[in-house]
Structure 1
């Protein structure tokens, strides 16, 4: 059964070939009534970022608009070149769209506790339901399919299907040809679109093919079903004809629904906002690259943090700094195996090469060369479109603290069956190398958690993470009896802490600052009590929270910082920081305020419970790559810690953690 979702009205625009949102209807608080509008909205031809849902198969993902259009998909992996990229260029980008002919209204949701999307299209003639998924493969199968099931629910309606693959980020047009049995084949590539149905007239779709685009209009009556199976494997690996049957398609759906529901059923959280927590967990799982265990930051590249600006980055990689928060979120929800796989992947990616980067390719590789794609205009003309990420080569000292916090948490789970999988010699060598590096370099400036591209600074957050690296390495070496000489690390650890409290806190501002010798505030300071660096009740921490609320907040949301950072435009407020504030308030005992802030943040998710990285504080329009793992991790942490605070457990846990450290 599908969970409830908002009803979204659609109408056919003046521009041929697509329907657009009714923006007045979508305003928060508007009645859920079918309203039809014609013409394009203030967004122009582009859909809002929050208009998209996502499906995936633990190897890659696809973004699907409420108009039934797959506007972004990369094959075969998250960081592979996009085959559908209308998200980044409405003119030349490819898509795969299914909806009703003429005006219609839409209602959509995920099937309960799954990542299978259900979209219902209705007009005066009838209703269809489209089920979208990327099938979880059976054993020994390759996960390289998108399945779209079109089912007649009421009446009889005309359904428009538009299929325009544009491989390699639209640097090549597909050469589509029918195979005589209703399938479409891209001959130069490996794409094939099968049509499968028990209804003879639906098995052979009357495609009109022109310039790499195929279009068709089919009539579907109540009870009729058409399956469209997009396969992107090589010909030898494609499903055999006997598998391309209605029964075979239903088996894929059942297997995938069962997989997601069994996974969601392992969640041990049963507190307030359980639905939102489970949806965030499912999103994190969807963004997992199963072969290596890493989690991509987002499924997209170059969705802008400022519309029309240049803050457009490729997030289809795995950031080490997110490891500690991701691992914490998975562990507290009961997902120990995922946490173990994630850590083992992260640990081995670093130690295998003895090169420490802030991010890695999803396969653990270290090369992420950044280039721009000038032939794409970018989302709402936000240029440049980037693939790869040059920040991978930056010096960011906070990475080591994140990795050690992850490692320490992993080993502190005494009931963890996977802890013994990390060889002790490798662990010993890893700790020595990391700590020797931190001892030698902690006094140096770096690019910081926010990856500044102009100049290095002495970021306070980075210094805190250097302290954390040494503090946890010392504890881990002792607790695991690793026979490492740590006496040289202890005075450096203490010196770092003293330096932070002296140079990183400004008494005039009443706040920790972003960098030594500067007056700018930084919302990363909200993490300090979570990391165990300072007690949340310490007057310096309390005054820091108050300063952030006063100077970095706009309405309900928190900016990372407000200062010149070497880029010409200004970004939106940062959703993870907004959830960190909820965490900080919970730790400080301000339960009612934390709860009120969390409720508003939860109301800002899209109708499917998904978040981007940032949000416009005035319009509450989502900005940045989507869906954003960091935001969903922060949501889980905020909800879980608030629930513990309501039960009076946070103070005890913080106290024991501080005592341990």
Structure 2
């Protein structure tokens, strides 16, 4: 059975509607062209039989073969150079932007076309094209029809895909298109795969070279509207570009990752679908967008959240939504898929939407507080209703147990990070009261805020181990307590916090700078490692914070992408990729190193 490449082998393409992953071997192994959480037409990432589209020299991986690749600056246009004994060839990959798109138009009307341009650099290289579409997450083998212009139409179920290659007449096999051709120095071959719905408009017809140039200009124009003046600017700008690529342009929602079911541990079952937008990540995301992007992205994300939440009832606010605000994200297993390196189940949907997670309102209102001056002295109706509704819900429910930031699937507990987030809700709401109209009850909210704080300090501290722990009454350490200084619940210089930081670093840390979430966690969690950077900087230990930042940043792959976690033994990337929270963690940690006392 064919083995799947390491997670770090993949580069990320995006049209801000969906995304694709391309491996170092030239294979597109993941593409859900309808939108981020749609069905994959290429799914080799989670099953070798689930489809791919490879364009690479014949004999990839043989003697004398090597690869180097890089994004064009400030874009998600990826150029891979294959060096062979017979010469060198470049393959440039992108998901097409709308022709003429600029700045904040990026992705609004993307045509759902995958562009691949092959360019001979030296010698004469024999190339192999292998087009194996498997729509509906590998459930469907489409019919292949040769076209008069030399292309091939793949059609089956709800999907049509049109494959074209300039100057090549492609032949359709029974279930794939396999074609070899030679490229000499200076020769260029443009290819595209255009997606269409079976009963909708036909796939777009674009010139690959013209479209590649237009897509590159669109990305460059987008980044030109943003600025960042802090430390580690190159890393921050790239991570901001990745976040833009994970943004669903039509709504402004940021998905947690491009993929579903890449495992936290090879062979394990903690394989979740991350192609949705988490409210919990809201404040962190907003801070990163504010630092490295511009207010327009932040305001669109607020509008999406308010619309998604809607008017309040008694039910908890879901922690996550679909990219257009869908609530019901019921989870099911794709039993026909093998999973990444046999890590089952493969999931579509995420049942965390059903959980009570008390930290959600604090993340949203914390983001409102951060951008309060930009949002104005008087909030619009939807924003005001959202803030009032979330605040009152926390006032009524903060004392309840929940599933916590790590979305445990066992029992509810009184998680410390959830209570601190409830305190954040009430504290920021008190500060925003003058902008919320006559229904704002500032005095009562302040009483609730102070009660939560007293409870956290009393119940969350464990005298025996000398640290704040993950849940009330527990002796188990949890890296989520590092959020206390970040949320300005306690300063990092507070003796209790210093003791906690030292204990977490000693018991959950590794010599390589990685931090686990808890003692039995099998991998280092990149966001937590960047939280530790922030805590050290806020405690005045800037030199140590810088050294840690640079070690953790070094866990990106060769094109600057992070997954969710790092294997503690091999250093391999684990979990869904590219992971928004990891890139958000980098941006926020870099800014903390620039402005240690920033709020």
TM-score normalised by structure 2 residue count: 0.94
**Per-residue Cα deviation, 1:28-52 (whole angstroms, up to 9, x for no partner):** xxxxxxxxxxxxxxxx722100110
> Which range moved further: 573-582 or 488-497?
488-497
> Which range moved further: 631-640 or 175-184?
175-184
Cα shift at 1:88? 0.6
Aligned residue for 1:285?
A: 244
Q: Does 1:606 align with 2:567?
A: no
Cα shift at 1:481? 4.9
Aligned residue for 2:391?
A: 435
State the alpha-carbon separation in 2 of the partners of residues 347 and 420 from structure 1. 18
Structure 2, unmatched stretches of 5+, are: 102-107
Cα shift at 1:265? 2.4
CA contact (8 A) 1:193 1:228 kept: no
Aligned residue for 2:104?
A: none
CA contact (8 A) 2:282 2:364 kept: yes
Cα shift at 1:174? 1.8
Q: Does 1:506 align with 2:462?
A: yes
Q: 2:134 aligns with which of 160, 166, 186?
A: 166
State the alpha-carbon separation in 2 of the partners of residues 269 and 157 from structure 1. 42
Cα shift at 1:644? 2.1
Distance 1:550 1:176, change over 3 A: same
Cα shift at 1:611? 0.3
State the alpha-carbon separation in 1 of the partners of residues 27 and 578 from structure 2. 17
Q: Does 1:80 align with 2:44?
A: no
State the alpha-carbon separation in 2 of the partners of residues 334 and 480 from structure 1. 27
**Per-residue Cα deviation, 1:159-181 (whole angstroms, up to 9, x for no partner):** 00000011001111121121132
State the alpha-carbon separation in 2 of the partners of residues 431 and 54 from structure 1. 35
Aligned residue for 2:221?
A: 262
- List aligned pairs for 1:343-492, cutoff 5 A: 343-352=302-311, 356-413=317-374, 419=376, 423-424=380-381, 426-479=382-435, 481-492=437-448
Q: 1:331 aligns with which of 272, 287, 290?
A: 290
Q: 1:315 aligns with which of 274, 281, 304?
A: 274
State the alpha-carbon separation in 2 of the partners of residues 268 and 328 from structure 1. 14
Distance 1:267 1:361, change over 3 A: same
**Per-residue Cα deviation, 1:259-307 (whole angstroms, up to 9, x for no partner):** 2112222332233321111110000000000011000000000000000
State the alpha-carbon separation in 2 of the partners of residues 126 and 421 from structure 1. 64
TM-score normalised by structure 1 residue count: 0.85
State the alpha-carbon separation in 2 of the partners of residues 190 and 239 from structure 1. 10
Distance 1:224 1:536, change over 3 A: same
CA contact (8 A) 1:183 1:192 kept: no
Q: 1:193 aligns with which of 162, 165, 169?
A: 162
CA contact (8 A) 1:344 1:422 kept: no
Distance 1:61 1:116, change over 3 A: same
The runs of 4+ residues in structure 1 deviating greater than 4 Å are 139-142, 352-355, 419-422, 479-483
**Per-residue Cα deviation, 1:464-497 (whole angstroms, up to 9, x for no partner):** 1111111111211125555522322221111110
State the alpha-carbon separation in 2 of the partners of residues 579 and 609 from structure 1. 16
SS at match of 1:161: strand
- List aligned pairs for 1:214-229, cutoff 5 A: 214-229=177-192
> Which range moved further: 349-358 or 371-380?
349-358
Q: Does 1:115 align with 2:76?
A: yes
Cα shift at 1:351? 2.4
SS at match of 2:486: coil
Aligned residue for 2:264?
A: 305
> Which range moved further: 606-615 or 224-233?
224-233
State the alpha-carbon separation in 1 of the partners of residues 119 and 93 from structure 2. 12
Cα shift at 1:239? 6.3
Q: Does 1:342 align with 2:301?
A: yes
Distance 1:482 1:351, change over 3 A: farther
Structure 1, unmatched stretches of 5+, are: 1-14, 16-43, 564-569
State the alpha-carbon separation in 2 of the partners of residues 431 and 456 from structure 1. 25
State the alpha-carbon separation in 1 of the partners of residues 493 and 263 from structure 2. 37
Aligned residue for 1:203?
A: 168
Q: Does 1:586 align with 2:537?
A: yes
State the alpha-carbon separation in 2 of the partners of residues 180 and 519 from structure 1. 70
Cα shift at 1:230? 0.6
**Per-residue Cα deviation, 1:52-74 (whole angstroms, up to 9, x for no partner):** 00101000000000001000111
RMSD: 1.9
Aligned residues: 583
Distance 1:423 1:61, change over 3 A: same
Cα shift at 1:249? 2.6
SS at match of 1:596: helix
CA contact (8 A) 1:460 1:516 kept: yes
